[in-house]
């Protein structure tokens, strides 16, 4: 992984609480993506942000989930009123602006493991 | 994005070449083939990508058939650390960044 930081690495919440997951992209990257991996399943795209703008949120659940990527600071994935089904690994990825790196090469963080009791 | 088909699992002896196939028969002219892998619960890792020519980097080689309907990822000398789930992803290189659509991938087990 080329420097994407996620914290916390592990997060335990009780049903009904809020979960905040943070992602610091590779320095200089302005594109951030969030993916979710349920136990024993593949990764599913959630949302794509580019500095202060949500570009694609087609994978975000309609309720309780929100994401932001402010001008300063990390990207935040927020889950309100968590339920047991939210237990999963949440991965953040970032990518640079176009040239000279290959388009769409995404660098992934180590993930946040959310457990809802 | 075009759909891809990969075998669910493969075994490979350490030191031998691992050849991972991928079918993408509906690939269109502006779509590239990307390979990522995920080593046991870690974040996915980019390996290689290509359009129509064969590609090689320090990690692997990518062989794309002339009709572009299938490709093979080659790890020339597999090690135990290459045990992972390998994902073949087809997506356009349109000049803008976009999501990755992961399928079920191939679980490669490298053995002694």
pLDDT tens digits, B69-109: 999 999 999 999 999 999 999 987 655 567 888 988 999 99
- Statement: residue A102 has pLDDT above 80: no
More confident residue, A2 or A86: A86
- Nearest-angstrom CA–CA distance, A65 and A43: 17
Say if residue B1's pLDDT is above 70: no
Average pLDDT over every residue of B36-58 = 93
Cα angle vertex A74, ends A72, A80, to 5°?
Answer: 120
Distance from CA of A107 to the nearest CA of B (A): 7
> In this model, does residue A103 exceed pLDDT 80?
no
User: Which chain A residue lies closest to B93 (C-alpha atoms)?
Assistant: A103
A106, A107, A112: best mutation site toward chain B, by most B Cβ within 10 Å?
A: A106
Percent of chain B with pLDDT over 70: 94
Which pLDDT score is estimated for B59?
Answer: 93
Quote the CA–CA distance of A87 and A26 in Å, as a whole number. Answer: 26
Pick from B110, B111, B109, B104: which is nearest to B8 by CA? Answer: B104
Q: B41 or A16, which is more confident? A: A16
Is B39 an 8 Å CB contact of chain A?
A: no
User: Considering chain B, what percentage of its residues have pLDDT values greater than 90?
Assistant: 76
Banded model confidence at residue A99, pLDDT cuts 50, 70, 90: low
pLDDT value of position A18: 98
Q: Residue A41's pLDDT is what?
A: 84
Contacts of B83 (CB under 8 A, 6+ apart): B39, B40, B108, B109, B110
Q: Do B43 and A44 touch (CB under 8 A)?
A: no
Say whether B98 and A110 touch across the interface (CB within 8 A): no
Handedness of CA A117, A35, B88, B45 (dihedral sign): negative
Structure tokens at A25: 């992209």
Residue with tokens 């769409």: A104
Please tell me which residue, B45 or B93, carries the higher pLDDT value: B45
User: How far is C-alpha A19 from the geometric centre of its chain's CA atoms?
Assistant: 12
For the residues A4-31, what does the mean pLDDT come to?
95
Contact A91 B41 (CB under 8 A): no
pLDDT above 50 (res A62): yes
Q: For residue A103, give the nearest of B45, B97, B103 by CB distance.
A: B97
CB of B56 within 8 Å of a chain A CB? The answer is no
Distance from CA of B41 to the nearest CA of A (A): 8
Determine contact: A74 vs chain B, CB below 8 A. no
Looking from the CA of B72 toward its CB, the CA atoms found within 13 Å total 9
* pLDDT score at A1: 46
Q: With a CB-CB cutoff of 8 Å, which residues 5-64 of chain A face chain B?
A: 31, 33, 35, 42-45, 48, 50, 55-56, 58-59
Name which of B87, B91, B103 is nearest A104 (Cβ-Cβ): B91
Residue A101 has pLDDT above 70, yes or no: no
Is B7 at the interface with chain A, CB within 8 A? no
């Amino acid at each position: 992984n080329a420097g994407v930081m996620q914290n916390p690495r592990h997060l335990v919440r009780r049903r009904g609480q809020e979960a905040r997951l943070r992602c610091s992209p590779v320095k200089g990257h302005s594109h951030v993506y969030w993916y979710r991996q349920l136990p024993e399943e593949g990764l599913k795209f959630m949302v794509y942000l580019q500095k202060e703008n949500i570009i694609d949120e087609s994978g975000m659940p309609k309720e309780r989930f929100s994401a932001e990527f402010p001008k300063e600071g990390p990207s935040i994935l927020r889950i309100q009123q968590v339920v047991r089904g939210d237990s999963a690994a949440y991965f953040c990825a970032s990518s640079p602006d176009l040239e000279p790196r290959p388009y769409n090469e995404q660098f992934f963080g180590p993930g946040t493991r959310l457990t809802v009791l | 994005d075009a759909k891809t088909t990969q075998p669910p699992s493969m075994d490979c002896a350490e030191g031998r070449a691992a050849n991972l196939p991928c079918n993408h028969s509906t690939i269109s002219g502006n779509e590239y083939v990307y390979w990522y892998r995920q080593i046991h619960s870690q974040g996915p890792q980019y390996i290689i990508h290509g359009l129509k020519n064969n590609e090689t980097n320090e990690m692997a080689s990518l062989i794309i058939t002339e009709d572009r309907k299938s490709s093979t990822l080659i790890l020339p000398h597999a090690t135990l650390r290459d045990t992972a789930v390998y994902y073949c992803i087809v997506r356009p290189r349109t000049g803008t960044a976009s999501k990755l659509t992961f399928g079920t991938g191939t679980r490669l087990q490298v053995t002694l």
